[in-house]
Structure 1
Amino acid sequence: MTTALKSSPNNRLDAIVEGLIHASDMALKHADMPLSRMPEFFMAVHVAQHVAKSFKNFGYRLEASVKQTLADAGVDEAEINDLLSNPDLRGNGRFDLVLRTGKKGTPAHVLEFKRGSRSAHLLKDLTRLTRTVHAGARLKTNYLVFTTKKSEERLFTMLQAATVEYKRNHPRARSQVAYALKRYQPIPHWAKDDDNRNRLHMAVAVFEVSYKR
């Protein structure tokens, strides 16, 4: 990918997928293992490094404090306290990766990485990212990245079901927040202990959680 002065929604997504493909290649070459069996942190590190190399305006923090990230993004202290009181956000926890911009390293995007795509986990993870999305110039778009055996069609169905359930359980939730499956890329995979390495379906998927204008 050609180094860009500034990221856009599309080339940012492309860079995330390119970082995942590189991670997959490195897992095969150096660990003799498919990406889906590597630690989630392995994906986060490779994506962070690739995005930083691709765009001059991005730095990053790995395992970034939830509370400090929100504060650095300029979220009001009262709102931070309100957000952290919700168990979905895990206020004493950490985000897998935060992309930061500018001289002060202002948080711009939160990325969470998962192995697998069970329906219950999908809703919980999307809910967590939803609570960090804001209408201002910062944290308008976040990403959920995971490995999955499911087809694109199955993921769309899961996403629709998760959205319906979230709105039913949170009738007053911000309707300005949207979920979308933005990237889906097959990667090498085989069954554990299969010396013949017969190819099985596996992919990396990138969900975008964004503020609707």
Structure 2
Amino acid sequence: MTTTLINIAQDKALRIYGAIDCCLYYTSGKKTKPAHLIEFKRGKGQKPFTQDIKRLAALINSAAEINNRTSKSRFETAYFITTTQYLESHTNEYVRNHMYEKLKRVDDQIQEEYKEISLEYDVFQLGKSLHNDELNNTRNAWAVIVEISTHQ
């Protein structure tokens, strides 16, 4: 049986962190095998956020193990992109520090579980949210991008 990204993603052992909801993958050059996976999520709390990144780390780790055995996998990197909202009254510094603290905790957990996986991440403001909350508070929309890859 040929190992593909779909086979890896459907592996029940890797599904302990949940299913992939919305993603794109792309190939490099003329190759037909996926090299990168991009998963998109709407803003969520800390636990699902952590689970999503752990799932992608497990996929990258599994693909790296297959590549080491067979040299057939081109799957190299996964990206996790999510959006979130913060009250307009929160300063940019507060939001960035808060998100970087969350991401650092996730990074520490990944390092404990997968020694060969590294995370790089960034947080940036997208602008004002189109919707106010139930108390009519204005919110700013933020994006979080996480790159998950093997140590090269």
Q: Is the 1:101–1:107 contact (alpha carbons within 8 Å) kept by the matching residues of 2?
A: yes
1:175 counterpart = 2:115:
yes
75, 79, 101: which one aligns with 1:139: 75
Instruction: Tell me which residue corresponds to 1:191.
Output: 132
Do structure 1's residue 204 and structure 2's residue 143 form an aligned pair?
yes
Q: Secondary structure of 1:127's match?
A: helix
Alignment of 1:53-202 (within 5 A): 68-70=4-6, 80=8, 83-88=11-16, 96-133=23-60, 134-135=63-64, 136=67, 138-149=74-85, 151-166=95-110, 173-189=113-129, 190-191=131-132, 199-202=138-141
The structure richer in strand per residue is 2
Provide runs of 4+ in structure 1 moved above 6 Å. Answer: none
Query: Offset at 1:107?
Result: 0.4
Equivalent residues of 1:143, 1:208 under 8 A apart: yes
Q: SS of the counterpart of 1:149?
A: strand
Spell out the pairing of 1:2-17 with structure 2 (5 A cutoff).
none
**Would the aligned equivalents of 1:187 and 1:204 in 2 still touch at CA under 8 Å?**
no
Structure 1: any 5+ residue segments left out of the alignment?
1-66, 72-79
User: Aligned partners of 2:9, 2:42: CA distance in 1, in Å?
Assistant: 30
TM-score (norm 2): 0.67
Cα RMSD after superposing both structures: 3.3
Q: CA deviation at 1:90?
A: 5.3
Mapped partners of 1:97, 1:120: distance in 2: 23
Counterpart of 1:210, as a letter, is S
Give the letter aligned to residue 203 of structure 1.
W
Equivalent pairs, count: 132
Deviation readout 1:171-213 (Å, 9 max, x if unpaired): 5x3211012213524233131589xx97522111211111112
Q: Secondary structure at the match of 1:122?
A: helix
Spell out, residue by residue over 1:87-113, the C-alpha distance to the aligned partner (whole angstroms, 9 max, x if none). Answer: 33657x665211223334220111111
TM-aligned CA distance change 1:139 to 1:103, over 3 Å: same
Q: 1:186 to 1:174 in 2, by over 3 A?
A: same
Compared CA separation, residues 164 and 102, structure 1 to 2 (3 A): closer
Query: Identity percentage over the alignment?
Result: 20
| Conserved? CA contact 2:123–2:142, under 8 Å | no
Q: What letter matches 2:132 in structure 1?
A: A
- Measured against aligned partners, the alpha-carbon deviations of 1:140-182 in whole angstroms (never above 9, x if no partner) come to 2111101112522111111222234455xxx5x3211012213
